[in-house]
Amino acid sequence: MAFQINPLLAAFFLFLSLAKIFPLNVVTASDPDPVEDICIPNGRSSLSQSFVFSQAIVSTFPGLNTMGFSVARIYLGPGGVVRSHAHPRASELVDVEKGVIEVGFVDSSNKLFAHNLKEAVVPRGMLHYIMNVGATQGVDLGFLNSQNPAFQIPSFALFGPKLPYEVLEASFILNRTTIDALHEIYKEFV
Ligand SMILES: *[C@@H]1O[C@H](CO)[C@@H](O)[C@H](O)[C@H]1NC(C)=O
């Protein structure tokens, strides 16, 4: 009995085998979402473990449009702090150019990673701070893998706008008197 090969099926299998040899490069619009806070390659730790800044993000430097990164330079006097904040859309590499600067972040199991090495990595979305722990002027560069990383300060975000008392009481285990006092402090930062 003659064996009939369906030409469509044959083309399909040829396509599959070619696709295996020459994988199609599918272009995606962004990096895949991280599935863990930290990915340590080769079993080694990748965590090297008054405030002024200038930044190049897409709104201040339109040439960054579609480029997928942005940069900030931060000048910190002794004791200066960049208050705890998060970049919902970017991981950050902090490169210390001058001074002794501590970079700390809290991962999603509430573990603090804080170091004052020359370089630090802050995974995307993690709350972090930068603090000059030396006696001299400090300068660092932050490289972020988004043209628009966003800068969210949790204290401003939660006490600036008026969230329901019930939500704030449950979130912070504080009474209304204390919440009212905090609203007074943060109302100018809305
Ligand atoms: C609210 O909480 C603060 C701080 O714990 C406490 O000092 C104060 O007495 C409390 N006020 C009321 C009305 O419970």
pLDDT tens digit sequence for 92-143: 999 999 999 999 999 999 999 999 999 999 999 999 999 999 999 999 999 9
Quote the pLDDT of residue 55: 78
Pocket of ligand 1 (CB under 6 A): 175, 177-178
Closest atom of ligand 1 to CA, residue 174: 2
- Best mutation site among 172, 177, 182 for ligand 1 pocket (most ligand atoms within 8 Å of CB): 177
Confidence class for position 42, pLDDT limits 50, 70, 90: very low
Find the 182 Cα to ligand 1 centroid distance in Å. Answer: 13
- pLDDT surpassing 90 at residue 33: no
Q: How far away, in angstroms, is 98 Cα from ligand 1 center?
A: 44
| CA gap 35, 124 in Å, rounded | 11
State the distance from the centre of ligand 1 to the C-alpha of 175, rounded, in angstroms.
Answer: 6
Burial class (CB in 10 A: 0-12, 13-18, 19+), 117: middle
The ranges assigned to domains in the chain are: 44-152, 155-189
Site to probe by mutation for ligand 1, drawn from 165, 173, 175 as the one with most ligand atoms within 8 Å of Cβ, is 175
At 54-68, the pLDDT tens digits run 778 888 888 888 888
Q: What's the pLDDT score for residue 22?
A: 47
Cβ count near 160 (within 10 Å)? 17
pLDDT band at 11 (very low <50, low <70, confident <90, very high): low
**Residue 97: strand, helix, or coil:** strand
CA distance 155 to 153: 6
Cα separation, 165 vs 44, in Å, equals 45
Average pLDDT over the chain, rounded to whole? Answer: 80
pLDDT higher at 86 or 186: 86
Residue 67 has what pLDDT?
82
pLDDT, residue 66, reads 81
* 44-152 CATH: 2.60.120.10
Q: Please compute the mean of the pLDDT values over residues 79-87 and round it to a whole number.
A: 94
The H-assigned helical ranges of 49-187 are 154-159, 165-172, 176-186
The pLDDT score that the predictor gives to residue 113 is: 96
Residue 50 tokens read as 């008054």
Arithmetic mean of pLDDT, 157-183: 95
